[in-house]
Each structure stands twice: as C-alpha cells, then as structure tokens.
Amino acid sequence: MLHLVGETIDKHRARYGAETGRLVQIMRGIYVAAEDDADAVLFDHALRIAAYLYPNAYLCGASAEQLAPMPDRRLFLSGRYNVRTRLRNLEIVQNRAPDAPETETAQTADPMGDLRVRRSTLRFRYLESFRRRSEAGAAMTIEMKSDIAARLVEAAGSEKEAIIECWQLAEANGWRKEAGRAEAFIATPLREAPQRGTALHVGWHGEKIGVLSHDGSAWRWEPTATEGATPVRTGAPGRLPPFIESLLPEGWLERVLKPKSERERVSAGKRYMSNIVISENPDDLRALPADVLEGRLDAYTHGGVFAGGYAGPAPTFDETLEERMAALYASTATPRLSGVQIKAPMNLSHDGVLRPAGDRAFTHILKPSPGAGFEDLPLVEAACLAAARACGIETAAHAIVSMPDDLPDALLVERFDIRRDRNDRRRMAMEDMASVRGVGPSEKYEGSIEQVARALRGVSSDAEADVAALLGRAVFAWLTGDGDFHLKNMAVLRVAPDGAENFTSVRFAPTYDAVTTRVFPGLEDDHLALSLAGKRNRLSSDDFVRAGVTMGISAEAARNIVVSLCGRLSTHLDDLDPASDRVDRAIAVWKRRIEITAD
C-alpha cells in the first residue's frame, strides 16, 4: 500500500510507522507498507506519485500516450524545469515545457482508485515524438507514431487538415523542425528506416537483456522483454545508457586500447564488470566464462599479505610489467575495467593460484604500482582499506601481493559484485553513483555529497542506513586525506534473487579505491572530490553535522558518526606499524585530521 503524507496519512503517523517498522520511507512524504514489494507499489502508483511530487507538471510523450510508465520504468513529464527523480527502480523524468503546451485532462485508475491527470493532447504528443533530444519523444515507438498519425487524420478529415493543425500548434511553440518531420511522416509511407551499423547483444548473468546499436550518428538501446530485474535503463536520446557508459575503459586502459571512436570503445571488448557481456555474437552471452568466486582471498592471506601462488603478468627481458599487462587486453575476451589506474583482471583458483582471467572467471583485481613517484600507491591504499575496516566501514577483501623480479608490491582486491559459489543463483550488479545520477564519467568530480545522498535515497532499499553510511564514508575520506572519493568511487550493489522480478536489495556498496592522495607528488593540497556543506577543504565536525541534517540525519546521529570515526581511527593507529615511508606520511595526515575534526 502507498501512503502520501497530507493525502492518505499525516506526518506524525507516517513517522511513527517508519520508526516501528510498519512503513518504509521511499523519500520525503512517500511511504510504502513494509510487507509490500516497494518496487511494484511504486510502479503501480507512478502517476499518482508524479502528481503528488509535481502538481503543476503534465504527462508528455510516451507516458501521455500510454498513461503509464515505460517498461523500463521511466515516467515522462513536462514542467518548469529539467529534473530527474529516482524512487527505487522508478525514474520520473521531467523536461522543460515549451511556451504554449496543449494539454487535456484524462481519467485513469490505479490500485488506490480513480485518478485524473493532465497530459499533452494527441496532436501535441505527436509533435513531441519528433523532438530530437527528448527522452519522452524518443520513447515513442514507430507503432505509436503511426497510430497517432492515423487518429489525427481521421479526426481532421484529411491528411492536409491534420498537417495544418500540427503546424499551427508547432508555430506557437517554435517547433518548426518538429512540424516538418511530423508532416513528412503523415505524407509518406509509415515505415521505420533500416538501421545502419552493427548490433551488439547485451547479456547479464548469461541472459540477454537488450540490443545496443549505433546508426552512424547516435546510440539506440532496445531492452529485451523480460519479467526479471535488469540493471540497464535507457538514458538520454542518442547516448549510451548510463550503466553501460560507466563500465567502459578510461585512463590507462583507454590509452592502451586506443579506441578511434565511442563505438570502438564498446565493441572492442566483450566482458565487463557487473557480470555484463557485450558482443556481436549472441552465443557469447552464455559461452564466455561466468564470474563466480572460486578461491577466497581471506583463505590465502596472512598478515595482510597474499600467501597463494602468483602466476600473473610479470616483466620479461624485453618487456616491462606495464607492456605485459597491456598485452593481456589484446584479446577481446579479457574483461575490461573502468578507472584511471593500471589494473589487471585476475582469477584466484580453489588451490590459491592467481592467474589472468582471460579464459577464466574474473574474480579479483590486481593493482600494481604505477611508478613515477606513486610506487607505494598499493601500500597506501591497503592501509586505507584496513583503516576503514577497523572503523567499522564495510570494505572489499584485499591483500598485498609480493611481485616477482623485485617489483614494488601490488594490491589484490576481491570482487564483491559476483556470486559467492556455483550454488549462488543471485543476480548482482554494481552501479556507480555517476550512473545512478545519470551523469557521464567526465562529471565524476561535480556535485556534492548531499546530492549523492538524495540520489541514494531514491534507490536504496534501506535509505536511512545507507545515507548514514555515506556520511560516514565522507567523514573517513576527510580524515584520511582521500581526494578521490568521487562519483565513480562510490556505488550501490543491486541484488535480485533467482527469478525475482525486481531487485530486493539495493545497498550502498562496500568501500573500494580509498587512498590518501595528499602524500603523492602534485597532490599535496588535494581536497575532497565532492563538496560537503558547501566546502571541499577546512572541514570541521560542525560541517559534517550540518551536511548530515541536510541529508536527513538528525544532528545528534551525525555528530555521533563523526565522534565514532575519529575515535576508532585513533585507536587503530595506536598499534599500527607503517609499511613504508609513504604510509607513515599518510598516518601523519590522519592524526592531524583527527585532532582538527574531533574538537
């Protein structure tokens, strides 16, 4: 059952219901009964929720035609501003309305009863379907356009009169190009132009979930009809879906692969993080190795150091380690990784041998030293991850790996977004916060922690706990001088049981890629990657409390998070033996920050 504060329930009863576990808060003012499937309730009541959140907006495009969200759970509105709102798996996309929209009132119903909604008229949504950069228009299928065009002609009495009416409405809104396309569509045979380029089949856990194609100028995502959960949602017209874009190589790997275009960036590989396969050959979706844990890193770690056998990339007489690692990616079957650091996809077998994951399950990530003043980066990152775990922050399993031929130590990290063993039938996907917010990787340093909290509340299945965890992670990033806590270094982990229609768990992911950046060359003055309380530097405990309140956390709870992390990190440092001079310098940064923040 859906509850809307001020309409079906008052705020005191809603708060009491949430405190007693009878209700689950989706976002401010919106609650769902705890025993219900929240995703299903939100989808079934999408129109009512949209009217509650945006009373002055109207349904547009495909949503106006169908009076329902799209199968990929997007609902389209037009209003005063461009804004996107995520409520778990439901995404409400509002675009800026034109100057003179033509709307009507429509009668519909949902499980709560009859509902009257405003939507664009038939001829107006017909014009909307020809807007080039409109998600609402792009979601209109060729069949929808054909049906609407036929209805317009029938109502007007002739093609000519229908075209005249469309032009009159278009002129009032400055939509001359849209009117020209609408006229051509009515006056010519209604058929879809053949697609150019190669279709790429996208699979998740061995099952096809859609087709990604490029027509020479723009991308197109066509989801496969499925009753199960899917991690990929349609993005802006002509662009890659945000989730797919978040998986693509960047930094070192992009320089190694040297893609000539974005199409080549996608098609040059087949295996990606989050159990995704992208291939021209649909048979690859099942044929390529499934990513399932074999050997567990904790079983082969002693004192934080990997104790298994290393059979991974190593330098030779005429090749450096970096060249040998780059050679791994010559095979399209080698899993691709995002992130700017040098990384290699690895497999840890049941007998504790670490090998490249080219033709094996991709279970672990090897992060060697990049050199050039960053030789101790793996040691500093390992120290940060160990400190995070000591502070009660969930982290990825990790260990230091002694590399051959006197090379600097590397860091090995165990994947937490894959199945635990062959009997595990859950479907999992990790989505970074850049993808959740619908922004590209190039915008990963833009925005604030408070904005991330709002996005997290829109998708998390335990928003209160996850927003508190986000604040704690931001405090930890400040205490440890981590200037790389950006949108791609935080994520949610989605989990769907076998056969489930929706993700039953969407939680803030364990910590990964945590490092004291301030101790490396050129980064001595590094500050927070995202602003908090309007600041990126010189933060105090009051700043974190102020940000916490903005994020929906009580001032007392926010202050307790700061005090607890300062205390636990300080206790951890009492018995810590530095692994290197660079780690020792990092610890000095931590101690100074604790003194400043704990006051």
Distance CA 321, CA 342 (A): 10
Helix, strand and coil content of the chain, in percent to the nearest 5, comes to: 35, 20, 40
Which phi-psi region, left, alpha or beta, contains residue 258 (left: φ > 0; alpha: ψ -120 to 50)? Answer: left
Handedness of CA 102, 107, 110, 112 (dihedral sign): positive
Whether residue 79 contacts residue 54, with contact meaning beta carbons closer than 8 Å, is answered with yes
Q: Can you give the three-state secondary structure of 409-444, one letter per residue?
A: CEEEEECCCCECCCCCCCEEEEEEHHHHHCCCHHHC
User: Do 76 and 63 contact (CB within 8 A), yes or no?
Assistant: yes
Coil, helix or strand at residue 72? coil
User: pLDDT digit string (tens) for 354-381?
Assistant: 999 989 999 999 999 987 788 899 999 9
pLDDT in tens, the chain (599 residues): 899 999 999 989 998 998 898 998 898 899 999 888 888 899 999 999 999 999 999 999 999 998 989 888 899 999 988 888 889 889 999 999 998 999 999 988 888 888 899 999 999 999 999 987 788 888 888 888 888 999 999 999 999 999 999 999 999 999 999 999 999 998 875 544 444 557 899 999 999 999 998 876 678 888 887 777 889 988 777 788 999 999 998 877 888 888 877 888 888 889 999 999 999 999 999 999 999 999 999 999 999 999 999 998 888 767 788 888 888 888 888 999 887 788 999 999 999 999 999 899 999 999 999 877 888 999 999 999 999 999 999 999 999 999 998 889 999 999 999 999 999 999 999 999 999 988 888 899 999 999 999 999 989 999 999 999 999 999 999 999 999 999 999 999 999 998 888 899 999 999 999 999 999 988 888 899 999 999 999 999 999 999 999 999 999 999 999 999 999 999 999 888 777 889 999 999 999 999 999 76
Q: What is the pTM of this model?
A: 0.81
Let me know the angle formed at the C-alpha of 277 by 272 and 283, rounded to the nearest 5 degrees: 155
Q: Between the CA of residue 550 and those of 85, 184, 471, what are the distances in Å?
A: 17, 51, 11
Residue 176 buriedness (CB in 10 A; 0-12 / 13-18 / 19+): exposed
| Tens digit of each residue's pLDDT (9 = 90 or more) over 58-108 | 999 999 998 989 888 899 999 988 888 889 889 999 999 998 999 999 988
